[in-house]
Structure 1
Amino acid sequence: MKLLKGLWIGFWSGLILGVLLKWVQSVTGEQVYTLLLNVDFIPVIGDVQWSEVTEFIFHMSISLVIGIVFVFLAKRRKYTFGQLVILSLLMSIPFPFLYFLLADLAINADVPAVNDWSAFLYWVFGHLTYSLLLPILYKTFERKNAVSQ
């Protein structure tokens, strides 16, 4: 059950993050969605011209793992919603820093510059949304299961 719950939470959180950043990119022109999906710097994988759908699947795979880890940590004891939010935010500490790393490592992709502060803020906003979705979806899933039992 933990695994399925983690997959469910990771799926929806990752999907919403992807849609949100794609929308931000379409409205602002900031290439934050492109940055999210870019894998051109990864040896072997980066040499292939992947479709957007495949790159999105790569993104979703990472989100599924994060969802599973979040659920396994959350199930270790009975956390309040506030404690779940703190847990999620602690797990999310690397996300803002990934902006700089991914922007710097990009080879061919048209991604924001490392010092593009508006793109950075969109990135942080999107990932903060993602982080808050983890505990919200966790509690939603718990309530849904409690009703059905």
Structure 2
Amino acid sequence: MNRFVKLVFIGILAGIILAGFLNIIQSLTGNQAYILLFNMDYIPVLSQWNNVPGIGLIFHFITCITSVVVLYFILQLMRWHKHFLPYFLTYTIGGGTLYTLTALTEIPPLLTNIAAWGFWTLGHGIYGVVVGLLVKHWN
């Protein structure tokens, strides 16, 4: 299997785990961080399709796949592409920072929802663990 296909698979698998984790959190606690995975309301061109069934899911997986492929090749330039830590740190810190985009939409959760931010950041940390380990040991 070539490298690009492996990276796509890693993005899909990690995206499933991220969505599954946040879905479980929503089911157990009612916290709505899960909704953010599929929200395109704050992206001008994509917002018109935000309420079309399935489009948010496609958005989520395109984002997951693209982020894995792009980060891999950026890290490859620095010869860090087979190291776990850059993936974990990038997705954990990046995910925690991207949560602030919730301020640009009326769709919950609110920017001030610290629990949602924590679950969102933890979920992206788990995503980073999955991506980092799979890239390190499989690619």
Q: In structure 2, what is the Cα distance between the partners aligned to 1:79 and 1:88?
A: 9
- Residue 116 of structure 2: which of 109, 116, 119 is its match? 119
Question: How far has the Cα of 1:6 moved from its partner?
Answer: 1.3
Secondary structure in structure 2 of the residue aligned to 1:50: coil
Question: How far has the Cα of 1:70 moved from its partner?
Answer: 3.3
- Contact 1:2–1:68, Cα closer than 8 Å, also in 2: no
CA RMSD of aligned residues (A): 2.1
Q: In structure 1, what is the Cα distance between the partners aligned to 2:121 and 2:38?
A: 16
Structure 1 unaligned blocks of 5 or more? 143-149
Q: Which moved more, 1:65-74 or 1:22-31?
A: 65-74
Structure 2 unaligned blocks of 5 or more? none
Q: In structure 1, what is the Cα distance between the partners aligned to 2:98 and 2:121?
A: 10
Normalised TM-score (structure 2): 0.85
Per-residue CA shift, 1:23-74, capped at 9, x if unaligned?
Answer: 11111111111122111222242123221x3211101101101111233245
Give the percent of matched residue pairs that are identical in Structure 1 and Structure 2.
29
Structure with max Cα Rg? 1
Amino acid in the other structure paired with 1:86: L
Question: How far has the Cα of 1:4 moved from its partner?
Answer: 1.2
Give the corresponding residue for 2:85: 86
Give the corresponding residue for 1:95: 95
Question: How far has the Cα of 1:139 moved from its partner?
Answer: 3.2
